Structure 1
């Protein structure tokens, strides 16, 4: 039976320069993990470096790497950096994503292609590389969205591009039977971060808040304990999507 601890584990985090990914990096480091801090563009480099410094201050080691996760070669490069720096990969947590909110009638082909590249293709090939490279007993987690359980308009291409990840997760979790590797998703409610607000209005923000317990948006601090649980004592959960959202949606 593998040890249910993060001590000396190597965790690759997609989208770790800010918000949820950054907090996950700092929290797993406090439990003894080493972290590969991914960021997607030069504009995020400073945040990624700050995350890496916070990881080291918390007691872990960190390496920073830029990669466009919509390009398979760069996904492969991210994992090669992880193995080059630490000799192995134990866990993968992919928080990377992109949101567009607009009526289906107004979505352009370019927007559709970009959303599926970021939310679906990148997730697929992150999971593929994780499947090839994680140690036996490893953990693979992808952040999706609670809108997968919502009956709503305006998010067709956002939620629609996240939806395939549930199928990827079920398939991969089954394919990895025999290696004690668990594969799961976490589906947060609308999170109180800069990722959420640009697509919303004052009225829609108020509506989202009213739809969850206590009239609040999900906070990144609400999600991290579930990530850590799946990386440790929650190892027996497999092929699942956890809706962590204060009752915003249920399924």
Structure 2
């Protein structure tokens, strides 16, 4: 079950965090993974892990806000693979702030990566998937797309857009055999979380980590590996009846009151 044998998968943000875990798991399950990240050395490091585990893949320096660059990468992939089976959009950036503390340049930066970046990658592969009459797109949204999170105005805007784009693409291309879903994590323990706490709460790292962990009713943050396992299911043939759906992975944040 959950084999991705010989499937061609593009994963953005594959150099760290959730994207890295998804790339490593997909390769372990047999996919040929194409790893895109703004930080080429990080993408290369993920590729090393993939190859050390007898997986197959390629790495690329990629700015998801640059549509022309993405289309060039997709053309390179198609020259050797002739198809693209899976696209996973993990590239994204965060922002802390309310409406009145969010500068226009910060709003535009979040939009260019989290919204336009997802549009650009989907735009770059959709016609190829239409020709194949088959394909899976998985976007990384957030629980911030569904509920109000304090001090996350621009970030919430961007993830709400990802959610609605997912629904739209699922509806428009279902007759072409293309499935499109999204995952909405709550807090996931990545290096970004550690860096955020260190930068904003020096000397209080452990206290703040515990506090943020307990905002999930289950009592801890999620792990990138747990999100990757859900991504594997949604991109596998076992999920062939699932499209146009958002999957919270949140330790009970949305539905359990404590």
Q: TM-score, normalised by structure 1?
A: 0.91
Whether 2:94 is the aligned partner of 1:90: answer no
- For structure 1, which segment, 198-207 or 217-226, has the greater mean C-alpha deviation from structure 2 after superposition? 198-207
Q: Mark the runs of 5 or more structure 2 residues left unpaired by the alignment.
A: none
Q: Which aligned pairs between 1:29-108 and structure 2 lie closer than 5 A?
A: 29-40=27-38, 44-108=39-103
Q: Which residue of 1, 6, 9 corresponds with 1:8?
A: 6
Q: Secondary structure at the match of 1:102?
A: coil
3-state SS in 2 of match to 1:38: strand
SS of the equivalent of 1:16 reads: coil
SS of 1:7's equivalent in the other structure is coil
Q: Any stretches of 5+ residues in structure 1 without a counterpart? A: none
Match of 2:150 in 1: 153
> How many Å apart are 1:106 and its aligned residue?
1.2
Query: Among 119, 136, 139, which residue is 2:136 paired with?
Result: 139
Structure 2 CA distance for aligned equivalents of residues 174 and 220 of structure 1: 29
Separation in structure 2 between the aligned mates of residue 85 and residue 39 of structure 1, nearest angstrom? 20
Give how far 1:6 is off.
0.7
Shift of 1:35: 0.7
Contact 1:243 1:250 in 2 (8 A): no
How far off is 1:67 after superposition? Answer: 1.5
Match of 2:223 in 1: 219
Q: 1:210 aligns with which of 203, 211, 214?
A: 214
Measured against aligned partners, the alpha-carbon deviations of 1:58-113 in whole angstroms (never above 9, x if no partner) come to 33321111111111111212212221232221100010011011222111110000
Equivalent-residue separation in structure 2 for 1:250 and 1:78 (angstroms): 40
Cα contact 1:25–1:37 (8 A) shared by 2 = yes
CA shift at 1:117, angstroms? Answer: 0.6
Instruction: Give the Cα separation in 2 of the matches to 1:27 and 1:77.
Output: 26
Cα distance, 1:18 vs structure 2: 1.6
Tell me which residue corresponds to 1:22. Answer: 20
User: Could you tell me how far 1:246 is from its partner in structure 2?
Assistant: 0.8
1:173-198 CA-partner distances (Å, limit 9, x unpaired): 11112222110110111110122344
Kept after mapping to 1: 8 A contact 2:32/2:56: yes
Partner of 2:246: 241
